[in-house]
Amino acid sequence: MKSVYYSLLHIIKNPWVSSVKGILLYFYWQIKKRWGNYPMIINIEDDIKIELLNPRIALEGGTKLYTQGLYDGNNMRMVDAYFAKWDEVFWDIGANLGLYSLVASRHGQAKVVSFEPHPMTYSLLNRQIQLNLRANIKTVNIALSNENAKVLFSNVDGSSTNSILLEGVNTERSIEIESRRGEDLIVDGETAPSVIKIDVEGFEWDVILGFGEQLKNVKICIVEVSRNETEIYEYMKQSGFLGPFELDLIHKKYTSYKRGRSQEDPVWIHSKFANLIFRELLNGE
């Protein structure tokens, strides 16, 4: 019942979605995901489709996709608007099925790099790219971290939400994954990201540290912060970023991010580019 409550709450609180339509879709989805044929294709928007390989993946992320489409309504539309204007690079770190990557890559001038470390989820990511005929997405099958090493990942059959294992956790069902520092993957301006999205199930601090001095050249960071909040907030400010912000593209405004209030991840904007970003994308003051 708790999962039902939170799913419906997210639909109702999403300003981009009709509450009535979303709730009706939710109950229809409960039937569809149970009795539907897999692989199952969901139409997110006219030019974006997502293929759900099995019932487990449908359970993990399908509800949000089917009922809300671009479920991060503000952040995803901000990425969309950014790459409609500028011929630059987007790094999708922890891409999973790649919805953020597909949103950015709908603009042919965008250069998208999608990082997905788990081999099965990486395979699913590539299926989405092929399904959507996107030629401007490069996929990379490694984890980003603060060191070039090997990390242990959970390895649950059929799941798209495997993640790095904490020390002391049972590693019986695990696999080794290569990790690299983001700083070491940036060769020149052609590969340096202007916008990054980090969603790595609690290891965002390691990813951020791995950017080193290159972080200061990033214009926008969308970061899911589930651990090390104090350290991340302080480091981002020391690196020249303003925020974190909560975006409201419907009303063309932004506010300070407050944990628990927003359904979306906090957004950081580098002070060097803030006036441009606010004026061109958010219509801020």
Span 127-153, pLDDT tens digits: 999 999 999 999 999 999 999 988 877
Span(s) in the chain for CATH 3.40.50.150: 73-282
The amino acid present at 246, given as its one-letter code, is: E
How far is CA 232 from each of CA 60, 79, 163, 278, rounded to the nearest angstrom?
27, 22, 20, 23
Looking at the DSSP bridge assignments, the partners of residue 174 are 154
User: What would the two tokens of residue 81 be?
Assistant: 């608007």
The predicted structure's pLDDT at residue 169: 57
* pTM: predicted TM-score of the whole model, two decimal places: 0.93
One-character DSSP codes across the chain: -HHHHHHHHHHHH-TTS-HHHHHHHHHHHHHHHHHS-SSEEEEEETTEEEEE-SHHHIIIIIHHHHHHSSSSHHHHHHHHHHHHH---EEEEET-TT-HHHHHHHTSTT-EEEEE--SHHHHHHHHHHHHHTT-SSEEEE-SEEESSSEEEEEE--TT-S---BPPTTS--SSEEEEEEEEHHHH--STTT--SEEEE--TT-HHHHHHHTGGGGGG-SEEEE--SS-HHHHHHHHHHTTEEEEEEEETTTTEEEE--TTT-SS--EEEETTTHHHHIIIII---
pLDDT at residue 167 is higher than 70: no
How far is CA 79 from each of CA 100, 113, 238, 267, 282, rounded to the nearest angstrom?
8, 14, 24, 11, 11
Q: Is the peptide bond before 39 cis (omega within 30 degrees of 0)?
A: yes
The predicted structure's pLDDT at residue 284: 47
Interval 114-118 mean pLDDT:
94
The hierarchical CATH code for the domain 73-282 is 3.40.50.150
CA atoms of 236 and 13, how far apart (whole Å): 28
The amino acid present at 243, given as its one-letter code, is: G
The predicted structure's pLDDT at residue 207: 96
Nearest C-alpha neighbor of 204 from the set 161, 173, 163: 163
Nearest C-alpha neighbor of 65 from the set 88, 39, 41, 44: 44
> Are the beta carbons of 121 and 160 closer than 8 angstroms?
yes
pLDDT at residue 181 is higher than 90: yes
CA atoms of 160 and 191, how far apart (whole Å): 27
Lowest mean pLDDT among 12-16, 160-164, 200-204, 232-236: 160-164
Between CA 213 and CA 224, with CA 219 as vertex, the angle to 5 degrees is 85
The predicted structure's pLDDT at residue 285: 45
At 194, give phi and psi (nearest 5°). -90, -30
The predicted structure's pLDDT at residue 171: 59
